[in-house]
Amino acid sequence: MTQRVLITRPALPGGGLDRLAGRAEPVRWDGSGRPEPAELRALAPGAAGILCLGNDRVDAALLDAAGPSLKVVALASMGFDGVDREAAAERGVVVTHTPGVLAETTADLTFALVLMARRRLGAAGDALTAGRWDVPRMGDHLGLDVYGATLGIVGYGQIGRAVARRAHGFGMRVLHHTRSGREDALSTPVDLPTLLAESDVVSLNVPLTPETRHLIGAAELAAMKPTATLVNTARGGVVDEDALLRALRDGTIHSAGLDVFEREPMGAELSPLVGEPNVVALPHVGSATEATRAAMVDLAVDNILDVLAGGPARTPLPGSSASPSAPSHI
Which of 235, 254, 276, 293 is flagged as catalytic?
235
Question: 329 an active-site residue?
Answer: no
Closest CA to 161 of 103, 228, 78: 103
Backbone angles phi, psi at 223, to 5 degrees: -80, -10
Give catalytic status of residue 290 as yes or no.
no
Would you call 301 helix, strand, or coil by DSSP?
helix
Catalytic residue among 25, 104, 198, 264: 264
Q: Say whether 241 is catalytic.
A: no
Rounded CA Rg of the chain: 21
* Type of residue at 15: G
Q: Of these residues, 41, 118, 120, 284, which one is catalytic?
A: 284
CA distance to 71, 253, 297, per residue, from 4 (Å): 11, 51, 17
Exposed, middle or buried by CB within 10 Å (0-12, 13-18, 19+), for 134?
exposed
CA-based nearest residue to 54, from 328, 260, 269: 260
Q: Strand 25-28 to strand 4-7: parallel, antiparallel, or no bridges (unpaired)?
A: parallel
CB atoms within 10 A of CB 112: 20
Q: Spell out where the chain has E strands.
A: 4-7, 25-28, 47-52, 72-75, 94-96, 150-154, 173-177, 188-189, 201-204, 229-232, 255-258, 279-281
- Catalytic site positions: 235, 264, 284
